[in-house]
Amino acid sequence: MTPPGTGVTTLEHQATGRTDSDAVDATLAASGDAHAFERLYRAHLGRISSLVRRMLGDEDPDDVIQDVFVRAWQKLGTFRGESAFGTWLHRLAVNVILGRRETLGIRRQRHLDGDAALETVPSRRTTPEISMDFETAMERLPDGARQVFVLHDVEGYRHEEIAEMLGLATGTSKSQLHRARMALRRHLER
Amino acid sequence: MSDQWTDRLSEYLDDELPPDERSALEQHLRHCAACGAVLADLKRIVTRARGLEDRPPERDLWPGIAARIGAGSGETQAIDLAAARRRWSFSLPQLIAAVIALMAASGGAAWLLHPAAQSSVAVRDTIPTTPVVAGGNLSARNAGDRSRIAGQSYAAAVADLERVLTQGRGRLDTTTVRVIERNLATIDSAIAQARRALAADSANVYLNSHLAETMQRKLDLLRQAAALVSSVS
């Protein structure tokens, strides 16, 4: 097991009083401590798992979740503590997910898909659990609209950030978001 | 239902319309019930999206990850941090007790028996279960004994970690050593400053908490440094 870094920056934060447990564990993990990395994994698994599942739709998320954490381990030496560890990990996860989408051949062209896909979503009446129904409706959105909706409305990214991540114009990100919201509205009002 | 404004409702909701268009849309919303209904639905969708709960995968993925990062074969390289934390773990009340003991050594232990400190709401709120500092259940002698023990434990833990660091500093790169030493010097300076202030105002709850937190910070830094030494051994 090769230690990916020294974690000097986090030690600097220690002296200034930023003693959050993630930063400590990130430092230890960067110096090769797998136990510390497992704590980070368990602390952030829920959010990363949900992000992967919502972004990938029907794809099996487990492999991608594993890829995210393996990549995080490899990249820990680049974590400078300029943002919270969770923010850093989340952005890395988005990159891994987008890379996987490329591998799967889900290209930008899909952002131009029609929104007829949502017509196949079962209505609220067939699924008693409303939040799960909402998740199901999200999964059935056209890929491009779903990506933008998840990143903007669920994860809180700005259109400029989304446009950069997805390689789109900002205006396209905005129009995809509106499209996704209107499609969800049509589903949820059934 | 659709009109020229329908496609602008998301931008309006996200406050991304230019001021003139925003005003025009608001004017439109005053008499267009259909657009108002769509806008209300979009708000509900955004609220639901923001309120979605995270869900972990159905099976534990750690074994697969551990295998891929080589954690199985490298476990012996990593310091047993859990054990280290158990050994060197101090709660805030314990640290304040340590502060009292260390203050006693420099003649500032009057705070322990000071009525204002013992009845302080701030102290009770911070450490509600700490008879050593806040309660009246223990005798001053017992409290003094506990303070002394905590002080000794803290000093022993710091000495232990400093020994690990001294012995292992040659294995760390010079930049890391420089950062650790600079930070330790900063913390030691803060501890000394807090002690000087407490010598003049031993009942000051803030100063006592600040000193305890700074001492904890020193312990945390030393623990990290020791872990770094261990990881490169």
Place of tokens 């925003």: B22
Q: Which ipTM value was assigned to this complex? A: 0.76
Give CA–CA dist A142/A177, Å, rounded. Answer: 11
Q: Are residues B117 and B186 in the same domain?
A: yes
> Of the candidates B142, B181, B164, B147, which has an alpha carbon nearest to the alpha carbon of residue B228?
B164
Helix (H) or strand (E) holding A119: none
Q: Which residue has the higher pLDDT, B208 or B175?
A: B208
DSSP state of B54: P
CB–CB of B62 and A50 under 8 A?
Answer: no
Helix (H) or strand (E) holding B187: helix B174-200
Residue B103 resides in a domain: yes
Q: Are residues B41 and B84 in the same domain?
A: no
Q: What is the CATH number of domain A8-103?
A: 1.10.1740.10
> Of the candidates A143, A135, A158, which has an alpha carbon nearest to the alpha carbon of residue A100?
A143
Q: Are A149 and A180 in contact (CB under 8 A)?
A: yes
Nearest to A41 among B65, B68, B220 (CB): B65
CB–CB of A46 and B173 under 8 A?
Answer: no
Q: Are residues B86 and B45 in the same domain?
A: no
Q: Give the mutation candidate from B77, B179, B186 for the A interface (greatest A CB count, under 10 A).
A: B179
The pLDDT of residue B209 is above 80: no
User: CA A50: distance to chain centroid?
Assistant: 8
CB–CB of A11 and B217 under 8 A?
Answer: no
Q: Are A8-103 and A108-188 equal in CATH topology?
A: no
Domain A108-188 sits in CATH 1.10.3720.10: no
Task: For residue B181, give every residue at least 6 positions away whose Cβ sits within 8 Å of its Cβ, in sequence order, or none.
Answer: none
Residue range(s) defining the domain that contains residue B209: 80-231
Per the structure, the count of domains in chain B is: 2
For B13, the token pair is 């909701």
- H helix count then E strand count, chain B: 13, 0
CA distance B142 to chain A (A): 32
Task: For residue B43, give every residue at least 6 positions away whose Cβ sits within 8 Å of its Cβ, in sequence order, or none.
Answer: B13
CB–CB of A153 and B50 under 8 A?
Answer: yes
Give CA–CA dist B197/B207, Å, rounded. Answer: 7
CA distance A79 to chain B (A): 16
Q: Are residues B128 and B37 in the same domain?
A: no
Q: Are residues B222 and B109 in the same domain?
A: yes
The pLDDT of residue B190 is above 90: no
Looking at beta carbons, which residues of chain B come within 8 Å of A37?
69, 71
Q: Whole-prediction pTM value?
A: 0.56
Q: Are B8 and B25 in contact (CB under 8 A)?
A: yes
Condensed to tens digits (0 to 9), the pLDDT of residues B11-26 reads 999 999 999 999 999 9
For B155, the token pair is 């000093």
Residue B201 resides in a domain: yes
CA distance B20 to chain A (A): 19
CB–CB of A188 and B41 under 8 A?
Answer: yes
The pLDDT of residue A49 is above 80: yes
Q: Are residues B43 and B108 in the same domain?
A: no
Start-to-end Cα distance in chain A: 54
Chain B: residue whose CA lies nearest to A42: B62
Residue B65 resides in a domain: no
> Of the candidates B151, B95, B162, B86, which has an alpha carbon nearest to the alpha carbon of residue B126?
B95
Residue B33 resides in a domain: yes
For B186, the token pair is 């900063």
CB–CB of A33 and B81 under 8 A?
Answer: yes
Of B99-113, B160-174, B189-203, minimum mean pLDDT range: B99-113
Condensed to tens digits (0 to 9), the pLDDT of residues B78-114 reads 333 343 444 445 555 556 666 655 555 444 333 333 4
Looking at beta carbons, which residues of chain B come within 8 Å of A186?
none
Sign, Cα dihedral of B141, B146, B149, B155 = negative
Q: Are residues B28 and B115 in the same domain?
A: no
